Structure 1
Amino acid sequence: MSSINTAHAMTAAASPRIDPAAAPETASHPAPAAAQSPAPAAAPDHHWSRDSVIYQIYPRSFRDTNGDGVGDLAGITAELGQLADLGVDAVWLSPFFKSPQRDGGYDVADYCQVDPLFGTMADFNLLVATAGRLGLRTIIDLVPNHCSSDHVLFQAALAAPAGSPERDMFIFRDGLGTDGSLPPNNWQSHFGGSAWTQTTNAHGAPGQWYLHLFDPTQPDFNWDNPAVHAEFERILRFWLDKGVDGFRVDVAHALVKAAGLPDWGGTAWGGSIEGFPGEKAPMFGQPGLADIYRRWREVLAEYGPDRILCAEANVDPLDRMANWVRPDQMHHAFNFPYLVTGFEAPALRQVVDDSLQAFGGVGATSTWVLSNHDRVRHASRFGYEGREPREEDGVGPADPQPNLALGRQRAAAASLFMLGLPGAAYLYQGEELGLPEHTTLADEYRQDPTFARTGGERIGRDGCRIPLPWRALSDGAGFSHGTATAAAPWLPMPEGWEEYARDLQSASPSSHLSMYRNALRIRRERALGTGSLQWMEEYCTGHTLAFRNGTTVVLLNTGSTPVELPAGTILQRSQAHLGGHAVLEANEAAWLAT
């Protein structure tokens, strides 16, 4: 990960200002020669997913229509027109299934029921139908690595004896030591602590241990058992029958574990460290995954050619990630290396080259992403000089605070650069508003299990999950329906949140939101997603990047001094251009027609 570094402290109460998107201008400077980046393999017939822009919705925080302080499916349906107007192709819904909500719904108690917190199945059916009428596809989360400990299958496993078919749905093992009091191996939970929890037998005696790569209330399924495969094929078909267009597969790299469950001295999440390369992690990236996804691809094909699978496969290096997007497996894999690359030109060029080569080498499209529900929002990550926040650990009140003005300026530039790249893009709700992280959230409001399991050492992900601001002059920034009777949002908004509200930004042609709308419109009109990339070497210096995508030139200045623009008509800028029209300011991106 490349860094951006030392903090200009600025409080969350600092007054944000709407980021501009400039009107077309012209520049007249000679265009430099182009250098070809690694070319992808010949693409198959065009599929909608190859250049799609998919918008992630975190339902708890999107829009609340019943006034209980929690977002719901009806709230999503009510605002789908806003997303169609934004110009995205599909919406992806984070889990809305029946769940005790110990991990934001990623602890599923019933995969085929809507949690009453979010509404009813009728609400979901209406959402899918409304999205279809607006030209939007609907993708839902699938969580196949683990379920909730409340799930009927796990409860049956707990009640059954060792070696039973019920227990074989999960990963139960006898403990080590003379009395079985030690965990079966040394694996650690991604949320902190051991990845094993010991059960208690009916008469109170210590029993077997079960594996949970995440929270103890999220037991891992045993994907060596054909019955687990059959159960998830049933779940796939249930939602495909309801008209969903695809699935984002949570922790897609973790389903299969190495035979014998050997000890592991590397990171809990499988990242490479000295002596423990990530490709050796016994709980991630195992060969048996390919057979699972080939079968799922066959199931989806029964419903037509347009259904898609997207892997959340956080592995390194990139060519390992590409293993699951071959023509007979998944369509997309999240590009985590791109997400964690800092606002630094050389590092960005390298990850773009590596991505196009790795994904193109297997005939897949590359994906690009800057934020999601698990990471510090890029409007805050880029607000540091000399230090970036830890990748997943969040930013708390005691941490150095980002420079919000700088972060939002860079976020706009990074977003415009990303949307000019060939391939597919994922947007996280609120990034089109330039929303920053809530970095001063008080500990008593935190709900992420990471915070509790690490004793507060890891702040957790609550800061990127704050409810969206819709109307500046309404209570709670218009997140909840009504004013007098609405409950407080499930996570409190930071001071000044209403200044980012969608209604204010919709009314301003120079807003962050307007920049996204214009960029997505131009991206579609000029077919940038299905284009190609040629680096323009004269503009690829230590702090600038430029590439040609068809007849569009995309430029980014990550440095502190302006640079001259090449010849062409300016289509879009990431900020208002206060100087001469023929220069690209510091922390700015622009698109030109040539």
Structure 2
Amino acid sequence: MQGRTTGTDERAEVLGVDPTWWRQAAVYQIYPRSFADANGDGLGDLPGITSRVPYLRELGIDAVWLSPFYPSALADGGYDVDDYRNVDPRLGTLEDFDEMAAALHAAGIRIIVDIVPNHSSDRHEWFVEALASPKGSAARNRYIFRDGLGENGEIAPADWTSAFGGPAWQAVGDGQWYMHYFATEQPDFNWDNPEVRADFVKTLRFWSDRGVDGFRIDVAHGLAKKFGDTLPSQAELDALPKDGGHPLWDRDEVHDIYAEWRAVFNSYDPPRTAVAEAWVDAARRPRYASPEGLGQAFNFDLLEAEFDADEFRTIVADNLALAEASGSSTTWVLSNHDVVRHPSRYGLPRRSSKTIKHGAEWLLSGGTEPELDRELGLRRARAASLFMLGLPGSAYIYQGEELGLHEVADIPDSERQDPSFFRNPGVDIGRDGCRVPIPWTRAGSSFGFGAGDAHLPQPSWFGASSVEAEEGDPDSTLSLYRRAFALRRELQGAETLEWVETGRADVLHYVRPNGWHVLLNFGAEPFELPTGDVLVSSVAQGAGILAPESAAWVRAAA
């Protein structure tokens, strides 16, 4: 039943048959609840995405990655999944998914969907059954249950801390506790259980049969876990090396799971692809990205870097070498649904506030301390994005970055939704600021997101950054991205570059095999461009000059 949304021949005609399409793809991440609201209930939905396919086609991307759209209580923005083979009724139906997939494929855009295999929702039918079943039952064995300590099991099995703050073990009232590395509502699966493995294979086939082209694997390094009879303390866990034998993270045997998944992916024509969200040591990343495994792995190094020439060059060189070692292509990311948007990161003092992660001190101040230099941040973001889009490998773009959106920092506490905010008051402000619904029009109750108010409050400055405001402006960030995506298609080919020495530590210059030159000036002084045609630049340039904190692509003169 492959290619359910469109006939196999029709899909091949529109999308082509290249099984390596993903190697240098431009992938646009959609956070469905915040992209477009078709029914006016304040929550983005699948019909809303379908309605915006013409925009996505004109943008010039190769694929969309959909964050979870499954039934969910939204304890963690949809990453608490009730049913892996269905659509949240607030977002649509399976028929709506099929219509969306058909529209995207007809526009030449492939589909990657999020798979969340480390944990389910506590409303998943398996976990409901587990709570209703006795100790030692087959139902409980699908998850990680342990007897508590103390006379009656009233003490947690270990003092582990969850990623969102608070304990990582939850009592169920009969002397046992279940593990949840994330929110309490997200119990961790037991991946030693063959039933769990078989069910996820079923899920991968379910979506592949509906025309999905690939999968993004959430917490890919966390599935395999191994505990002894006595659990280590949190301090002992933190001290253990993550070298393949850690009890929780990046265990070697996790790749046995992905070898099984690769067999599933390769049973389709063309093979389905996958990308691992694996926060692991760089030296261990290639195995996730190998042809025998998921095929590709996220590289978050640029996302974590300062706006600094030396950092950028080292990261690019190291990750191209890692990609060569894995046989995959590398990936480039500057923003996503979990981090502060990069126009805001680049507009703050260096290392002043741990701005990358969602616990940023800058956000705790409501975005007022230190003061954000919005113009500086956007100028640097445009330059970094253009530099990144010229690199070999896949580029992952987060919705709204093509508009130059800054982080929404001043959301009232009463309007916030992220569990990390509620579990760590005064410490972690959460990720809501990058998940605010994006603006489509200059005005309106939700700036064109839907007919009513949006589920997260949008700031007044959104109108000036909307699609409507930027669409006709040749100097807008939207126009910059459209131009870069269109030119990027001509860069396909050898996944290599050659560095050109500039004589300045604050200017980077590389050349792609087709002869295009990409330059980024991190400094405060202009730099002389190579002779040739400027194809695209992040700011208006003087003749033959690369302005400070700007980037350009140049086709050198023959």
In the superposition, the TM-score normalised over structure 1's length comes to 0.86
Deviation by residue 1:410-436 (Cα, 9 ceiling, x = unmatched): 110000000010011100000000011
Equivalent residue number for residue 436 of structure 1: 406
- Residue 126 of structure 1 corresponds to 99
> Are 1:57 and 2:30 matched, yes or no?
yes
Counterparts of 2:52 and 2:280, CA distance in 1:
35
In the superposition, relative to structure 1, how do residues 378 and 256 fare at CA in structure 2: closer, same or farther (>3 Å)?
Answer: same
Of 244, 248, 252, 2:220 maps to 252
**Does the Cα contact within 8 Å between 1:51 and 1:530 map onto a contact in 2?**
no
> Secondary structure of the residue that 2:384 maps to in structure 1?
helix
- Name the SS of the counterpart of 1:115 in structure 2: coil
Task: Report deviation, 1:289.
Answer: 1.0
Distance 1:409 1:266, change over 3 A: farther
Who is 2:264 aligned against?
Answer: 299
Q: Work out the CA distance in 2 between the residues paired with 1:141 and 1:530.
A: 29
Q: Does the CA contact (< 8 Å) of 2:19 and 2:271 recur in 1?
A: no
Residues 267, 217 of structure 1: alpha-carbon distance in 2 compared, 3 angstrom cutoff:
farther
C-alpha distance after superposition, 1:470-502 (max 9, x if no partner) = 011333211113xxxx2x110000121110010
Supply the distance in 1 between the matched residues of 2:445 and 2:171 (Cα, whole angstroms). 47
Residue 232 of structure 2 is aligned with which of 263, 270, 273?
A: 263
Report the Cα distance in structure 1 between the residues aligned to 2:235 and 2:395, rounded to whole angstroms: 31
Corresponding position of 1:152: 125
Residue 332 and residue 267 in structure 1: after superposition, are their counterparts in 2 closer, same or farther (change >3 A)? Answer: farther
Partner of 1:346: 310
Q: 1:179-215 CA distances to partner (integer Å, 9 max, x unpaired)? A: 42322223210101111111113xxxxx201000100
Matches within 5 A, 1:232-381: 232-260=200-228, 262-263=231-232, 265=234, 276-279=240-243, 281-316=246-281, 318-381=282-345
Q: 3-state DSSP class of the match of 1:553?
A: strand
The letter for the 2-side match of 1:590 is A
Partner of 2:463: 498
How big is the alpha-carbon RMSD for the aligned residues of Structure 1 and Structure 2? 1.7
Give the equivalent residue in structure 1 for 2:199: 231
**How many Å separate the matches in 2 of 1:117 and 1:68?**
9
CA contact (8 A) 1:264 1:282 kept: no
Q: Is the 8 A contact 2:286 2:323 kept in 1?
A: yes
Partner of 1:583: 545
1:230 is paired with a residue whose SS is helix
Asked whether 1:554 is paired with 2:518, we answer yes
In the alignment, is the contact (CA less than 8 A) between 2:420 and 2:428 conserved in 1?
Answer: yes
Identify the residue that residue 32 of structure 1 maps to in structure 2. none
Cα offsets for 1:333-381 (capped at 9, x unmatched): 1111221111101011111111111121111100001000000000111
Whole-Å separation in 1 of the counterparts to 2:440 and 2:209? 33
Tell me, which stretches of 5 or more residues in structure 2 are unaligned? Answer: 1-17
Match of residue 542, structure 1, among 505, 509, 512: 505
Residues of 2 paired with 1:245 and 1:480: CA distance? 28
Contact kept, 8 Å, 1:266 with 1:277, in 2: the verdict is: no
Q: Tell whether the 8 Å contact from 1:266 to 1:281 is kept in structure 2 after alignment.
A: no
Per the TM alignment, residue 46 of structure 1 is displaced from its structure 2 partner at its CA by: 6.8
Question: Helix, strand or coil: the match of 1:427?
Answer: strand
Q: Which SS does the other structure have where 2:306 is aligned?
A: coil
List gaps (5 residues or longer) in structure 1: 1-44, 202-206
2:359 is aligned to 393
C-alpha distance in structure 2 between counterparts of 1:523 and 1:234, whole Å? 36
Amino acid at match of 2:262: R
The AA in structure 1 aligned to 2:469 is: L
User: What letter corresponds to residue 435 of structure 1 in structure 2?
Assistant: L
Q: Hey, what's the Cα distance between the residues in 1 that align with 2:151 and 2:312?
A: 53
State the distance in 2 between where 1:63 and 1:468 align.
8
Show CA shifts across 1:13-40 (max 9, x none): xxxxxxxxxxxxxxxxxxxxxxxxxxxx
The structure-2 alpha-carbon separation of the partners of 1:264 and 1:593, relative to structure 1 and needing over 3 Å to count, comes to farther
Shift of 1:277: 4.3
d(CA) in 1 for partners of 2:270, 2:38:
35
Count residues with an aligned counterpart: 530
- Can you list the C-alpha shifts for 1:301-352, whole angstroms capped at 9, x where unaligned? 2222341111111112x12122211111112211112211111010111111
Write the letter of the residue equivalent to 2:358: E
Question: 1:491 is matched by which residue type in structure 2?
Answer: L
1:85 maps to which residue? 58
1:514 paired with 2:479, answer yes
Query: What is the Cα deviation at residue 236 of structure 1?
Result: 1.1
Deviates more, 1:302-311 or 1:508-517: 302-311
Q: Determine helix, strand or coil for the equivalent of 2:55.
A: helix
> Partners of 2:280 and 2:236 in 1: how far apart?
12
Shift of 1:264: 5.5
Distance 1:178 1:308 in 2: 50
Instruction: Name the counterpart of 1:29.
Output: none
Q: CA shift at 1:401, angstroms?
A: 3.5
**Residue in structure 2 matching 1:410, options 380, 390, 404:** 380
Residue equivalent to 1:168: 141
- Does the 8 Å contact 1:86/1:520 carry over to 2? yes
Question: Contact 2:491–2:512 at 8 Å: present in 1 too?
Answer: no
Task: Give the partner amino acid of 2:255.
Answer: A
Task: Indicate conservation of the 8 Å contact 1:265/1:276, yes or no.
Answer: no
Say whether 1:112 aligns with 2:85. yes
Q: Distance in 2 between matches of 1:67 and 1:108?
A: 24
Q: Are the equivalent residues in 1 in contact too, given 2:215–2:275 (CA < 8 A)? A: yes
Among 460, 468, 475, which residue is 2:430 paired with? 460
One-letter amino acid matched to 1:89: D
Secondary structure at the counterpart of residue 537 of structure 1: coil
